Amino acid sequence: MKKQIILLVMLGAFSAGTLFAEDRLIATAKQDSATRVTVYDEKGSYLFSKSGELVGYTPTTVTIKEGSRNVTYDNKGSYKFSK
């Protein structure tokens, strides 16, 4: 029984490590100018930048006002949805 639990914990840790190695999380999103938002990971490395006004961000998404709509991007800068 103990061996099974340890194996499951090890597999879980490996999976989580793999996920975070591929997908860097958003640590900071800042308004660089009136029309530019730049996004950085937890090490301060550049992830991406977009035109618009920063609305808010989480570790996995950033929302930017582009014209009259709010557009949400993932941590890779890919479009997710808009409102």
- pLDDT per position as a tens digit, 37-83: 999 999 999 999 999 999 999 999 999 999 999 999 999 999 999 99
Task: Report the C-alpha gap between 20 and 3 in whole angstroms.
Answer: 26
Residue 58 DSSP label: -
Please tell me the pTM assigned to this model. Answer: 0.73
**Nearest CA to 46 among 75, 17, 81?**
75
- pLDDT per position as a tens digit, 7-48: 333 344 444 444 444 579 999 999 999 999 999 999 999 999
Question: Which residues does 14 contact at the CB level (< 8 Å), separation at least 6?
Answer: none
